[in-house]
């Protein structure tokens, strides 16, 4: 009986220590994810200042260094291969990713990621896109792509429902349309349990689309 009580006591102490350690780790995870969200907010404020067709590689280079962008160049097209890229080959591309990894690790939130892409041709921004994906409450996505003038038949074209928002626009979009498209809710990165539909992920765009 005494031995059994000792075992139970040790198990209880171990469980308390484990819960305490998880609590400390969870608090640290929340702190680190808030840092990621703040960094994403700073990046987005710089990203929206770029001008498709105008901003040069010198304007993009500091973003790569500060926000750890991944840079690569397009491969040559194979003979007979159709060019389906926004800018046309050859081009360079920079990718940025901000993710709630810490909250995932301590099981406080499903995966949520904010990402952005910048394509350059002839040393100028020829295309940019940004968006958010999450697995909270199922798979949800917001994706916004901005092309040069004349590359699309319409200046602003949103396709919106609760599961996905797909927006294509050109540099001819109005300031109000562009502001709504790029006003993604980055609080979703640090929100416990995440955002559960595109209304939460991009509320301004949802309102602009008439929903």
Structure confidence by residue, pLDDT tens digits, 186-203: 999 999 999 999 999 999
**Averaged pLDDT, 167-196:** 93
Whether 45 is in a domain gets the answer yes
- What is the rounded distance in angstroms from the CA atom of residue 131 to the CA atom of residue 98? 11
Residue 136: the pLDDT is 87
Question: Would you say 130 and 144 are in contact if contact means Cβ atoms under 8 Å apart?
Answer: yes
Whether 201 is in a domain gets the answer yes
The length of the chain in residues reads 211
> Is the pLDDT reported for residue 10 higher than 60?
no
Range of weakest confidence among 59-73, 141-155, 162-176: 141-155
pLDDT digits (tens, 9 = 90+) for 29-88: 888 999 999 999 999 999 999 999 999 999 999 999 999 999 999 887 777 667 778 888
Whether 193 is in a domain gets the answer yes
Residue 17: the pLDDT is 47
Bigger pLDDT: 16 or 147?
Answer: 147
Residue 29: the pLDDT is 86
Domain coverage including residue 19: 2-75+88-208
Whether 82 is in a domain gets the answer no
Residue 2: the pLDDT is 62
Alpha carbon distances (Å) from 133 to 110, 114, 145: 11, 7, 15
> Is the pLDDT reported for residue 138 higher than 50?
yes
Helix (H, G, I), strand (E, B) or coil at 8: helix
> Is the pLDDT reported for residue 13 higher than 80?
no
- In the chain, the DSSP E strands lie at 70-73, 92-99, 112-121, 124-134, 140-147, 156-160, 164-170
| Cis amide bond preceding 90, omega within 30 | yes
Whether 116 is in a domain gets the answer yes
Whether 80 is in a domain gets the answer no
Whether 83 is in a domain gets the answer no
Q: What's the structural domain count of the chain?
A: 1
**Averaged pLDDT, 111-134:** 96
**Averaged pLDDT, 120-139:** 93
Residue 12: the pLDDT is 52
pTM for this one? 0.87
Helix (H, G, I), strand (E, B) or coil at 7: helix
């Amino acid at each position: 009986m005494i031995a059994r009580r000792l075992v139970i006591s040790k198990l209880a102490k171990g469980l308390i220590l484990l819960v305490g350690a998880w609590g400390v780790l969870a608090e640290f995870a929340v702190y680190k994810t808030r840092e990621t969200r703040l960094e994403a907010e700073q990046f987005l404020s710089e990203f929206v200042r770029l001008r498709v067709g105008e901003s040069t590689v010198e304007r993009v280079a500091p973003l790569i260094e500060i926000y750890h962008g991944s840079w690569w160049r397009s491969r040559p097209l194979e003979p007979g291969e159709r060019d389906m890229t926004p800018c046309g080959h050859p081009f360079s591309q920079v990718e940025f990713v901000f993710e709630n990894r810490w909250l995932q690790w301590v099981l406080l939130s499903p995966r949520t990621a904010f990402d952005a892409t910048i394509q350059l041709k002839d040393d100028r921004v020829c295309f940019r896109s940004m968006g958010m994906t999450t697995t909270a409450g199922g798979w949800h996505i917001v994706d916004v792509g901005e092309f040069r003038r004349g590359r699309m038949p319409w200046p602003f074209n949103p396709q919106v429902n609760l599961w996905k928002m797909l927006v294509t626009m050109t540099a001819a979009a109005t300031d109000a349309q562009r502001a709504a498209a790029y006003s993604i809710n980055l609080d979703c990165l640090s929100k416990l349990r995440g955002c559960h539909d595109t209304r939460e992920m991009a509320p301004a765009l949802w309102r602009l689309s008439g929903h």
